[in-house]
Structure 1
Amino acid sequence: MADSGSKIGEDDEVPGRVKEHLCQPCLSKDKQTVADKFCSTCNEFQCNDCSNVHNVLAILKSHKLVSVNEADVASFSVKMKALDLCDQHQHSFEFFCEDEKKLCCSKCAIVNHRKCHSVVEIEKIAGNITSPISTLGETLKEAKEAAESVARHIRSSKDQLAQDIKEIHDKIRRMRDEVMEMFADLEESVNKRAETLQKETLQNLTMKQTQNEKHLADVTSCLETIESIFKNGTPVQKYIAEQKMESNVNALCRNIKEECQNLETVNISFQFDETIKMPPLPVTEYVPGQLELNFQHQGDVNFVNMMMKLTPVSSIDLKKTEDDIDELFYTGIDFLPDGRLVAVDNTNKKCLVYNEKLEKVGSYQLSYKPFSVVVVSEEEVAITRGYDIEFLHVSKCNEITSSRKCIVKTKYDSICLKDDKQFVVGTYDEPKPVRIVSLTGKEHDFSVNFPNKTYPIDTSDCTYIKSSDKVVITDRYEHTVCIYDIKTDTRVVVKDDQIQEPRGAAVGPSDTILVCSMKTNSIVQISKTCQILSSYKIDMEYPCIVCVSRDKSFLVVTNSYPGNKKLQKFKISC
């Protein structure tokens, strides 16, 4: 509530001091007028001109007007902080519209709620509050404790970060004693990279800390207001405060809950290669280790909202027909924007189109064995075939024609879109496991220190998370999923008993990663913070390729089990 002797917002508490009161309606118009009357119903000081409206409007004639000297201002001792004032008219709330669930001043009741069926006086219903304002106070106390926990965690993360950096320094210095010349250069190189990571991570933590401090201050302020109103306020004031503050309290709690769910423990470590190349090889050509930045979510974090559910929609058996030379084997699938599915059959050299019911509606004979396929636009797809990428036009009428080819210098297997001009492609029998290729065939590498490992055909797959600039690589026989952060040149290796012979990968809802685990006949869902969320058993053996629709609402998977190949479609829900 505004001070009766000052402008609104200057002082929200008037403990009954003797002074000249100003007209509150006039103050809302930036006009200072000495008050002559006090309306106990409006809970306002008013001048003669403003108080005369009580004699004009029938709805206000029941209000109690007294002179300023006779006014009882005890109710002004509660810090309402203008909670009892209408934002639009700066008049005190007197009514509650049960139809629209809104607090109303006298002007609101007349102008905005004339057609409503139930507009009641707050005084008549304030005593029947079913959820007292103290509940908001308890909620805010819990939120405050959570915010303080976030603050403690951030401080601890900063200390741990500094400790990790110190341990890296110590580790490098111990090794330098054994191979002084090589590790003198190594220390400078690694420390520079570590300090860059530390600076970037500290900036992120400081930003989170600033946001948390703001939430903590907001919660503390709201809590002080509620405790004051609950302790000293009238039933009307308590009711108004509850109606007015509930949405703000809920928003604060959601923000703090989100902060709690996104807490991460940051660790920096330096792991050396198993076989260290010795001097005189300069460190500029070979760094005997890799700096890794690892994030781990705290325990008891609720991942329920990120976990998806799969509901079967349709399933077909991939049977050989008269047009097929051998058993069908789909090595690439992807959704067209309109919901149709495009697939490539490696053994029979075909590109096929399926409708939303998984009914085959189009087919095109290729001259080579295709490896993978990706949808480029509404009516164009790209197919990998080793040193070539062929582009096909797929019309709305399911007619398929070849449009152009790109000759490349690297053997490519899996393929996905990086942006509207480039692909991310997985290689085989090549020193670089992943490369970038433009739609015109221009090739270049990621600025990432990939392990020096060559993947044979059918042992790895890749996908790309555009929003976070991360590359995902599956390693079938190492039973791992490696997630590379391009921005920080760091990686996280996900290894778990639920991941056995991982092959195909795709980006799912909330940028989670979906991986085919062939040996467990499952689709494994990995969070964007590299935690395994769940594993979904699929009714097929050796699932190997998976794709997700553009709106993340459908998933299709196929397998590589001889004699029993399938194509299955699922509805995704959270």
Structure 2
Amino acid sequence: MADSGSKIGEDDEVPGRVKDNMCQPCLDKDKQTVADKFCSTCNEFQCNDCSNVHNVLAILKNHKLVSAKEANAASISFEMKALDLCDEHQRSFEFFCEDEKKLCCSSCAIVNHRKCHSVVEIKKIAGKITSPSSTLGEKLKEAKEAAEGVARQIRSSTDQLAEDVKEIHVKIRQMRDEVMRMFDDLEDSVNKRAETLQKQTLEKLTKKQAQNEKHLADVKSFLETIESIFKNGTPVQKYIAEQKMESKVNAICRNIKEECQKLEKVNISFHFDETLKLPPLPVTEYVPGQLLLKSNRQEDVNSVNMTMTLKPVSFIGLKQTGDDDGKPLYSGIDFLPDGRLVTVDHRNKKCLVYNEKLEKVESYQLFYTPFSVVVVSEEEVAITRGGGYNIEFLHFSKCNKVTSRRTCKVKTKYDSISLKDDKQFVVGTYDETRPVRILSLTGKEHDFSVNFQNKTYPIGTSDCTYIKSSDKVVITDRYEHTVYIYNIKTGTRVVVKDDHILEPCGVAVGPCDTILVCCRTTNTIVQISQTGQILSSYKLDMTYPYRVCVSRDKSFLVVTNNCVGNKKMQKFKISC
């Protein structure tokens, strides 16, 4: 007996023998008749009697009929893997209900959608689709990349667990040199507990990995199906596949997104009690320390989706004007909330305002040498200055009038400056052993609770910024070719050294709170995650990029350079 679901192009079960295709309408009536015709519009084989209905009904007269043998030779049917069949009636989809956005077979159209206002034949609308695979394909590719990112992070977390446990071994052995007997017992006790925690955590990670691998398998399977259908299928089949698989694709994308949001980075650390007193009890009953298993959300698990691209919008050349002492050097730039740009010209002692098209709308002469600038509010900026221990505040009106507002006395030499909150700045020092400090808007100075690297930076060799969302300070070290990321909450730091990071100068917080660094030697803007991963590197059409700033909504970026000759300022549109 022939299989009622046989399709054109399927191999016969007996080698060398050609399988006869059966009439589908007859099979629906439990009658077996060899097919004489194939209707490419109905997408089914029919005997002569059943195909004669095409000559009777006006609606069917435009259908294309060929002989069954020609259909077999042409392989015009494509295996849809049941995507073209109605789940309820197991009939081919012929209609689409535009009211309810559902595919319908002939039974569905009559029974379930007879009250709907717009039920159209698929063949009439399928040809209008230009690229039905693009949306589903892009969603699946993004889901695949996200799932692969999860897999990478799980592997990283697993490796980090092993490294953490190794560090605990080393730490315990160092302590054992001082109190040998007690730490022999301590090592055994803590290692067992650490290995137990590691085992328990690995079991959880293994389970997450299994779920992620299932998502990956589903994504790959759907991608193969989509690519095959949209490469070989008819417009009707493509349209059906898109409608049929959209909910499944959305579901798997949603599941992977949820996995990304739930993903945690797990660390094991050992904290030793510094005020240890030798107890009279066995060390196994009095453990001089605490083994902690800490889980925190990985900050850049979706870094694959955070990678930015830059599109040039406009640029201007920075040239010496009649009242300038030399060619401009913009040592500080920042965006006002309304999109205007504030710059300070270090060499010519000026503060300048540019509109969104980088057209200069105001130039204000200063009596001091400015170093850096930060926007404090809608109409106020703060400027660090040389030649005195002061922070200067200027007022900017909506009509671009600039006036001096006040001077704040300080006791430290400050260069870079960024906002910490609505009452405090984070300021980078120069010629000081404390590279970064906190400064209030009223001039009160104090230090972070973190032990920064004890290094003195001359003017122009370092820049810093602050990431509010994660309470982190970022410092560039130009001649060490290094970027330091300090976590104020935990007292830890990430040291970023990479071939992309050569002579890092200006730094700013970019989209998704990633870090953007001007690299002078490579003439690039490098994007770094908060965990130190290089996300992207954009080659600039300028020599020696020096300062960078990002608009409040993270949609625009402006960069200036510091070179002899071709000085410019360029604006870019940011997209992720």
What band does the TM-score fall into relative to the shorter chain?
0.5 to 0.7
For residue 539 of structure 1, the aligned residue among 529, 541, 546 is 541
Aligned 8 A contact 2:314 2:358 in 1? no
Alpha carbon RMSD of aligned pairs, Å? Answer: 5.7
Q: How many residues get paired?
A: 438
Q: Which SS does the other structure have where 2:370 is aligned?
A: coil
TM superposition score normalised by structure 2? 0.60
How do 1:168-187 and structure 2 match up within 5 A?
Answer: 168-176=167-175
Tell me the distance in 1 between the aligned counterparts of 2:411 and 2:529.
34
Q: Which SS does the other structure have where 2:174 is aligned?
A: helix
Tell me the distance in 2 between the aligned counterparts of 1:413 and 1:539.
27
Note if 1:342 corresponds to 2:342: yes
Aligned 8 A contact 1:306 1:510 in 2? no
Q: Which SS does the other structure have where 1:348 is aligned?
A: coil
Partner in structure 1 of residue 7 of structure 2: none
Shift of 1:536: 2.1
Shift of 1:503: 0.9
Tell me the distance in 1 between the aligned counterparts of 2:206 and 2:447.
33
Tell me the distance in 1 between the aligned counterparts of 2:487 and 2:260.
23
Note if 1:460 corresponds to 2:453: no
Aligned 8 A contact 1:268 1:294 in 2? no
AA of the residue aligned to 1:486: I
AA of the residue aligned to 1:467: S
Partner in structure 1 of residue 416 of structure 2: 414
AA of the residue aligned to 2:350: K
In structure 2, do the counterparts of structure 1 residues 335 and 111 end up closer, same or farther at CA, with 3 Å as the change threshold? Answer: farther
Tell me the distance in 1 between the aligned counterparts of 2:529 and 2:315.
27
Shift of 1:507: 1.4
Aligned 8 A contact 1:484 1:492 in 2? yes
Tell me the distance in 1 between the aligned counterparts of 2:147 and 2:522.
41
Tell me the distance in 1 between the aligned counterparts of 2:501 and 2:149.
34
User: CA offsets per residue over residues 339-397 of structure 1, 9 Å max, x none?
Assistant: 22111111222111112222221111222111110112222111112632221111121
Shift of 1:171: 1.1
Partner in structure 1 of residue 328 of structure 2: 328
User: CA offsets per residue over residues 287-310 of structure 1, 9 Å max, x none?
Assistant: xxxxxx998999xx9836623133
Note if 1:558 corresponds to 2:568: no
Note if 1:511 corresponds to 2:513: yes
In structure 2, do the counterparts of structure 1 residues 147 and 365 end up closer, same or farther at CA, with 3 Å as the change threshold? Answer: closer
Aligned 8 A contact 2:300 2:530 in 1? no
Tell me the distance in 1 between the aligned counterparts of 2:524 and 2:212.
44
Tell me the distance in 2 between the aligned counterparts of 1:157 and 1:370.
45
In structure 2, do the counterparts of structure 1 residues 339 and 151 end up closer, same or farther at CA, with 3 Å as the change threshold? Answer: closer
Q: Which SS does the other structure have where 2:410 is aligned?
A: strand
Aligned 8 A contact 1:267 1:294 in 2? no
AA of the residue aligned to 2:367: S
AA of the residue aligned to 1:559: N
Tell me the distance in 1 between the aligned counterparts of 2:213 and 2:554.
33
Q: Which SS does the other structure have where 1:409 is aligned?
A: coil
AA of the residue aligned to 1:316: G
Gaps of 5+ in 2: 1-86, 126-135, 222-238, 271-295
How do 1:442-481 and structure 2 match up within 5 A?
Answer: 442-481=444-483
Tell me the distance in 1 between the aligned counterparts of 2:445 and 2:209.
42
Shift of 1:258: 7.6
Q: Which SS does the other structure have where 1:510 is aligned?
A: helix
Aligned 8 A contact 2:546 2:561 in 1? yes
In structure 2, do the counterparts of structure 1 residues 153 and 484 end up closer, same or farther at CA, with 3 Å as the change threshold? Answer: closer
AA of the residue aligned to 2:405: S
AA of the residue aligned to 1:571: K
Partner in structure 2 of residue 167 of structure 1: 166
User: CA offsets per residue over residues 146-202 of structure 1, 9 Å max, x none?
Assistant: 979968975x66765553343223212333455669x99xx99xx9xxx9xx99x97
In structure 2, do the counterparts of structure 1 residues 102 and 447 end up closer, same or farther at CA, with 3 Å as the change threshold? Answer: farther
Tell me the distance in 1 between the aligned counterparts of 2:152 and 2:550.
40
Shift of 1:244: 7.2
Partner in structure 1 of residue 310 of structure 2: 309
Partner in structure 2 of residue 379 of structure 1: 379
Tell me the distance in 2 between the aligned counterparts of 1:381 and 1:468.
24
Aligned 8 A contact 1:374 1:415 in 2? yes
AA of the residue aligned to 1:463: T
Aligned 8 A contact 2:165 2:268 in 1? no
Aligned 8 A contact 2:551 2:557 in 1? yes
Gaps of 5+ in 1: 1-82, 86-92, 126-135, 224-238, 271-292
* Higher mean displacement: 516-525 or 419-428: 419-428
Shift of 1:476: 0.7
In structure 2, do the counterparts of structure 1 residues 206 and 429 end up closer, same or farther at CA, with 3 Å as the change threshold? Answer: farther
User: CA offsets per residue over residues 7-55 of structure 1, 9 Å max, x none?
Assistant: xxxxxxxxxxxxxxxxxxxxxxxxxxxxxxxxxxxxxxxxxxxxxxxxx
In structure 2, do the counterparts of structure 1 residues 212 and 339 end up closer, same or farther at CA, with 3 Å as the change threshold? Answer: farther
AA of the residue aligned to 1:472: V
Q: Which SS does the other structure have where 2:486 is aligned?
A: strand
AA of the residue aligned to 2:416: S
Aligned 8 A contact 2:157 2:265 in 1? no
Aligned 8 A contact 1:143 1:253 in 2? yes
User: CA offsets per residue over residues 95-124 of structure 1, 9 Å max, x none?
Assistant: 841466236889984666x3x3x3569xxx
